[in-house]
Amino acid sequence: MNINPREHTALITGASAGIGLELTRKLLSEDWQVIALNRSGFPEDDMSIQNAIKKGSLRIYTTEDLADYASLKRTLGEIKGKERRIDILFNNAGGSFPELSYSKQGREKHYELLTVVPYIILMELKELLNSGSLKTVINTSSSAQKFTKEFTIDILERPKTFRKLIGPYATSKLALSLWTHAIAPELAKDDILIRSVDPGGNNTLRKGKTSGLPFPVGILMKLFFPPPTRGADRLYEGALGEHRNKTGVYLVKGQVVELKFIDQARNVLDRIQAIYEQEFLRSE
């Protein structure tokens, strides 16, 4: 693809650790401008990152909790006030939780953070995307969604049961890919392309951080999974590779994969759009 990276800007959520950090490093090494939307700081001993911060090619915006609408609204307002454009939005922030928990808004926290918040970020930053040239959105999904056996809006918001990885986490990632598919025709009117991408299994374990992974999966991840550079590469290719002109698709290992429960895609989109309009826009 013939682009001049110096003229392009990416916004990455969850840019300070794991796959997001490796994607940040990759783009900075290719002279991209990177806007980071984080809950935590970057490694202080990473000189390339610290130099990019000093130069202004890496600009950091921090929110206390992405799932806290008041905090998120303040930070997004700061981004809209200071930045001129976004060429690629990487909705990457996420994670899995070890037990059932709920957001301040009263919804299951995986669903709030992994499904609803990426939509809010997209809607709030849409004007900056319109000012960019690549006009691309990449939502980080997960192949864990293939384990979903039952799917409804009610199950998303208030699960009947909780299982690590293949429970609310998996259904929330599926819902993310479903609304990505459903919103594509609407975004196409503004020439914005959107795709969801599975970054694959990566060793993203962090010391001192409680994992939402089943114990055997955590052991396998530690021993056998590749470093998060692989996941970063897949997100990068999902944005700029072979399928860069496609929209609404779900990519796994660089291939377009059919989504389960595709008949629910519009229902998911309608629900999170209502949350955005009735709750987020009215929050203070």
For residue range 117-171, list pLDDT tens digits in order. 999 999 999 999 999 999 999 999 999 999 999 999 999 999 988 988 889 999 9
* Residue scoring higher pLDDT (218 or 14): 14
pLDDT at 266 over 60: yes
Hey, what CATH topology would domain 5-201+228-280 get?
A: Rossmann fold (3.40.50)
Inter-residue contact 169 to 96 (CB < 8 Å): yes
Whose CA is closest to 107, among 262, 275, 265? 275
Position of tokens 């293939």?
146
- Taking residue 13's Cβ as centre, other Cβ atoms within 10 Å add up to 23
Q: What pLDDT score was predicted for residue 94?
A: 83
| Distance of alpha carbon 119 from alpha carbon 91, whole angstroms | 9
pLDDT band for position 98 (50/70/90)? confident
What 3-state DSSP class applies to 196?
strand
- Taking residue 24's Cβ as centre, other Cβ atoms within 10 Å add up to 30
Joined tokens for residue 8: 């392009």
Per-residue three-class SS string for 58-92: EEEEECCCCCCHHHHHHHHHHHHHHCCCCCEEEEC
Reported pTM = 0.92
Q: What is the pLDDT of residues 20-47, one digit of tens each?
A: 999 999 999 999 999 999 998 998 999 9
Run of H or E residues at 173: helix 168-188
Q: What pLDDT score was predicted for residue 2?
A: 42
| Distance of alpha carbon 26 from alpha carbon 163, whole angstroms | 34
Residue 126 burial by Cβ neighbours in a 10 Å radius (0-12, 13-18, 19+): middle
The overall longest dimension of the chain from CA atoms, in Å, is 49
pLDDT at 224 over 60: no
The domain spans of the chain are 5-201+228-280
- Taking residue 259's Cβ as centre, other Cβ atoms within 10 Å add up to 19
The strands making up 250-252's β-sheet, listed across from edge to edge, are 58-62, 33-38, 9-13, 88-91, 136-140, 193-198, 250-252, 255-256
